[in-house]
A and B are shown apart, each in its own frame.
Chain A
Amino acid sequence: MSAPRKREIMKTYFTKRYEKVLDSLMVADTTAAVATLVNGDSKRASGLPNLEVVHGVASSLFNASLEKLKPNKDKEDLTLEKATESSDEFWKDENFKQEIHSESPNSYIETDQDQDQEASKVEAKTRQHFIDIFVEKLIAKMVPERLPERERLFQSNSEDEKLGYQTVSATKLTQNLKDLSAKTGGMFETQDTIVRLLTWRNPSGTITMLILLTMICFNPMCFLVFPLLYIMYAMMVPGYMRRHPLRRTLYPIRRANGKSLLRELANGGIPKSSQPPYSFDLYRTNSDSLKDENVNNGAELVANIRDFQNATTSLLSFLSSLEKFKYGTAGFKDERFSTLVFLAYFIGFCILGLVSPYINWSLVISFALWFGMLVIHPKTLPRIKKHINTNPVHHSKRTIRDSEKYDVILDEPPEVRFVEIFEIYEQGITPRHWEFFKISSQVFDSSDKFRKLQKPPPGVDSLSEVLPPKTWSFDENSQWEVDYDAEKWAFERGLLLPIQEEFLTDDMFKRRRLTRKVLRYANPIRKPFYKYK
């Protein structure tokens, strides 16, 4: 037996030997961290202690390094891969075998390919990026081990036992994203087609779209019928034709003579001089064939990922504007504006409700569609914009707005509540001698934790230093008033101590309650949870 071979065996032996130790180490560490985090939940209002976060991150780092040391023998992962393979069976059907092997260079021999794949998977697993493992461990630390379903996040967790183990895994997520981006090509193509239709880059297509939409408007049943037609004649018939061509010989046209009136009209009038006859369709088929042949899979994947990235960016900006509406306008951030918006919607609702029975909606919507599409035509839109900008009515809008700021009257009475504070006196040398001690929000009776620690209660020395509760303000027209019914407030607190006039006394201190009115114009607006810090 050669030395390297021997070393290899030794290495496997030791790894096997210490795998268990490593595992137990990791388990203990993870559970400890999770336990601290979960227990810390109740304290979360005061913010996660920095020490715990550091500890969590450090242990995740440590775990990630351990993971990296471990050879890849995760049974779970293997079964997962098996599962994906079985779903791949669908694509391995002999009907999917291509004539030209452009997809991967080593797909000739199936057995070889399988072996190679297996090997590369193991390799990939061991070479898995350190950061990936780290992030995964970090997530596993930050969230409780078993993550409830979304709908149960805010419900009682009585049925948690039934839920399977569904942990968050960064690698799995990345893999899913990768797969998703490879498969979303069709979606982005559709999106692109729609954009092309809306911007009149394919005029005949736009007009076809308008005609179809008009048909739907007049007969909503078309909404169901058209998808059926699409599936039959745009998906299934081409599929059939691909497998069983009709053998109709089509001669490629080199040069298209003559022009389409419709297209010329849509492109902005009939040109005087004869332009090179570069028909749209011809151009399109050229580009399509170019795309089919030249653009390889890798580039398409990258393009898909880029589109996906753009889509997520626009989704995010859409969500943030939605959020702005939800928490700003709908949350009455600017009371005047929100009131006006509400009224505008209300009036719109009433008018629509009253008028709708007398309106031929099919006609109105189809007219609106045609009109809208004509307005956003690239040739007409700049002209309309120019016209609006030169219109004097639009300019005078500014001056009207200034005088309109008094149209909403915000004179609702504010919310009123009462606050209390305790003026505490300390026993002096004689029983009749009392010395001012502190003004505090606490009664400071003998069961008070500060008193047990022989510390003064948190408080201030003068009434002017007392602050109102957050988001509230003191009513300037009311002053601190002594509450003479000491018996009542003492009973409400369960304090059975002797009462002298308005004071509640014990062996060392006496205190009286002062109350004052506080006001608040409105409750603060709700914020999304991630904005609370």
Chain B
Amino acid sequence: MSTCVSLKVRKVNLHYKTVHQPKSDMAKEASDYYCRAHFIYHHGQKPSLTLVTPATMSSVLHRIYPLLLIADATLSNLMWICEDLCLPFIHLVMVLMVVNFLCEDLQVDISHIAQLWLGLMSLFFLAFSVAYYILTLYQDLLYESEPPTVDDIVIVLESVVDKLETIQHEGLSVNKRRALQLAVLLTPLHWGLIKLVSMKNYCMGFTLMCILYHSNWFQCTLKLFWRILLTRKVYYGLERLFNGHGPFPKKPVDFFRAISSSEYIYRMALPHDVKALHSHKLQLRLQQLFPWDKPLHNDENGSDLMVIEFKINENQRKWQADGWTARMLPYERTKYSIELGGKINTCHSPWQFQESDLKNWSWLDDCWRPTDWIYSDTNWDFKGVHDSLDCCTRTRAWKRRVYRLME
């Protein structure tokens, strides 16, 4: 390290001949410093939009500015990210009282009348507060503050879009078929719940859920629940129930099914002298003809030899407790898998697999050869060939070829 520093210093002195600083000071400075990369911030200077925006566009933007502000405030309330958190809470309570009022049966009784009165008052208050907010907003924009620049408007627009995207991302994405299935499944559940906790409580609970759904608290609770194995088992169990089958067949693939649906089938022509060979001699000759590290190609008129390459994937998952292990989650691919017809199938380990009765097939290679590990995230999406923080799973293929002489 010290030699490195002195080298650097010498280099620096060469460049700056005018510098009359003592060498030791410079060396100290250099050794104290280690270069840390800085983050890229995207809020640096940007070209102003004012001059490049057409006048009609600006005027339209200016007109929708108050609407954007209202939308932004509404979304902030919905996502519970306002500065004063007590305010959305009060609104929530009022909304619940309104729901209570709407679901209330008419009865002449002190508590019922009180509830009705509270609900009605909340409804009026909410309506007036919304109207008041909008009015004051327009008033502020008109008289109090300076007119917004196009950049201001675009910032609010970006904020609204960002919030909408977050809401969309947090929402459960269901297609039509799944929605129908859910409706069929949930209707009796709804009915039972309504019978259990009365219509009014059910409505209030549902409203509460809807209002709280996009809050940090709800989303964090969901995320924390998703960490639990049991939750995922239940989720994928339901998935299986809807789909009628699991993501991966549990039964290991046998040798002949692997052959029949393999994608790596090669047909090749052979010289006559090779055709005459038998067993080991033939295998050795074929190994010379088709080295294991060279990819195979289909011959145009090859009908003498059929070679099939097996690729058995070994899968591993990274655990906090003890790093990379072959322990997989119960709903995902197992320790060994094989890809057949574009689908991932459970498989035995290569050494169990090679024990199967080959009949008229013979092994071309002497052993299984592994590739390098390929790293991916928790959903098995490819990340790279190095272990990194965002890699949770890895896989490598064990390859071995079989051949058969065509009669």
| A contacts, CB < 8 Å to B | 335-336, 339, 342-343, 346, 405-414, 416-421, 426, 437, 439-441, 454-456, 458-461, 465-470, 473, 475-478, 491-494, 515-516, 518-521
In the docked arrangement, what's the CA distance between A335 and B228, Å?
Answer: 12
Do A476 and B388 touch (CB < 8 A)? yes
Do B228 and A343 touch (CB < 8 A)? yes
Binds A, one of B40-48, B160-168, B363-371: B40-48
In the complex, how many angstroms separate the beta carbon of A495 from the nearest chain B beta carbon?
9
Do A492 and B35 touch (CB < 8 A)? no
> With an 8 A cutoff between CB atoms, is B177 at the interface?
no
Do A407 and B230 touch (CB < 8 A)? yes
In the complex, how many angstroms separate the beta carbon of B269 from the nearest chain A beta carbon?
42
Quick one: given A346-B221, A473-B389, are A339 and B227 in contact (CB under 8 Å)? yes
In the docked arrangement, what's the CA distance between A516 and B36, Å?
Answer: 12
Q: Can you list 27 residue pairs at the A/B interface with Cβ under 8 Å?
A: A339-B227, A343-B228, A406-B229, A407-B230, A409-B228, A409-B378, A411-B377, A413-B378, A418-B39, A419-B39, A420-B38, A441-B38, A455-B16, A456-B12, A460-B35, A461-B8, A465-B34, A465-B35, A468-B37, A469-B37, A476-B386, A477-B388, A478-B384, A493-B44, A519-B389, A519-B390, A521-B389
Interface string of B214-230 (1 = CB under 8 A from A): 00000001011101111
Interface string of B353-371 (1 = CB under 8 A from A): 0000000000000000000
Do A414 and B389 touch (CB < 8 A)? yes
Do A468 and B388 touch (CB < 8 A)? no
Within 8 A of A (CB), among B355-405: 375, 377-378, 383-392
Do A469 and B45 touch (CB < 8 A)? no
> With an 8 A cutoff between CB atoms, is B33 at the interface?
yes
Quick one: given A419-B39, A493-B45, are A408 and B389 in contact (CB under 8 Å)? no
In the docked arrangement, what's the CA distance between A441 and B16, Å?
Answer: 21
In the complex, how many angstroms separate the beta carbon of A206 from the nearest chain B beta carbon?
42
CB-defined contacts of A346 to chain B, threshold 8 Å: 221
Do B320 and A454 touch (CB < 8 A)? no
In the docked arrangement, what's the CA distance between A409 and B378, Å?
Answer: 10
Quick one: given A421-B35, A440-B35, A492-B44, are A409 and B390 in contact (CB under 8 Å)? no
Q: A420-B39, A455-B16 are in contact. List 9 more A-B contacts (CB 8 A).
A: A336-B320, A406-B321, A409-B228, A413-B377, A414-B389, A416-B390, A456-B12, A476-B387, A477-B391
Do A343 and B389 touch (CB < 8 A)? no
Do A466 and B35 touch (CB < 8 A)? yes
Do A441 and B377 touch (CB < 8 A)? no
In the complex, how many angstroms separate the beta carbon of B72 from the nearest chain A beta carbon?
25
> With an 8 A cutoff between CB atoms, is B285 at the interface?
no
In the complex, how many angstroms separate the beta carbon of A471 from the nearest chain B beta carbon?
11
In the complex, how many angstroms separate the beta carbon of A296 from the nearest chain B beta carbon?
56
In the complex, how many angstroms separate the beta carbon of A440 from the nearest chain B beta carbon?
6
Interface string of B260-282 (1 = CB under 8 A from A): 00000000000000000000000
How many A-B pairs fall under 8 Å by CB? 137
The 3 closest A-B pairs by CB, nearest first: A477-B384, A492-B44, A476-B386
Quick one: given A339-B228, A412-B223, are A406 and B35 in contact (CB under 8 Å)? no
Quick one: given A407-B230, A413-B377, A477-B375, are A469 and B36 in contact (CB under 8 Å)? yes
Q: Is the interface of A mostly helix, strand, loop or mixed?
A: mixed
CB-defined contacts of A441 to chain B, threshold 8 Å: 35-38
Do A491 and B35 touch (CB < 8 A)? no
CB-defined contacts of A469 to chain B, threshold 8 Å: 36-39
Do A516 and B37 touch (CB < 8 A)? yes
B37 nearest in chain A by CB position: A419
CB-defined contacts of B30 to chain A, threshold 8 Å: 458
In the docked arrangement, what's the CA distance between A408 and B42, Å?
Answer: 36
In the complex, how many angstroms separate the beta carbon of A352 from the nearest chain B beta carbon?
16
> With an 8 A cutoff between CB atoms, is B327 at the interface?
yes
CB-defined contacts of A421 to chain B, threshold 8 Å: 35, 37-38
CB-defined contacts of A519 to chain B, threshold 8 Å: 388-390
Quick one: given A440-B35, A491-B47, A520-B389, are A411 and B40 in contact (CB under 8 Å)? no
Do B39 and A408 touch (CB < 8 A)? no
In the complex, how many angstroms separate the beta carbon of B84 from the nearest chain A beta carbon?
16
CB-defined contacts of B4 to chain A, threshold 8 Å: 461
> With an 8 A cutoff between CB atoms, is B62 at the interface?
no
> With an 8 A cutoff between CB atoms, is B319 at the interface?
yes
Quick one: given A335-B320, A407-B228, A492-B46, are A475 and B388 in contact (CB under 8 Å)? yes
CB-defined contacts of A437 to chain B, threshold 8 Å: 15
CB-defined contacts of A458 to chain B, threshold 8 Å: 29-30, 33, 35
In the docked arrangement, what's the CA distance between A461 and B11, Å?
Answer: 11
In the docked arrangement, what's the CA distance between A411 and B394, Å?
Answer: 13
CB-defined contacts of A411 to chain B, threshold 8 Å: 377-378, 392
Interface string of B63-81 (1 = CB under 8 A from A): 0000000000000000000
In the complex, how many angstroms separate the beta carbon of B334 from the nearest chain A beta carbon?
15
In the docked arrangement, what's the CA distance between A440 and B223, Å?
Answer: 39
CB-defined contacts of B106 to chain A, threshold 8 Å: none
Do A407 and B229 touch (CB < 8 A)? yes
B225 nearest in chain A by CB position: A343
> With an 8 A cutoff between CB atoms, is B241 at the interface?
no
CB-defined contacts of A414 to chain B, threshold 8 Å: 389-390
Do B390 and A419 touch (CB < 8 A)? no
Within 8 A of A (CB), among B1-40: 4, 8, 12, 15-16, 18-19, 26, 29-30, 33-40
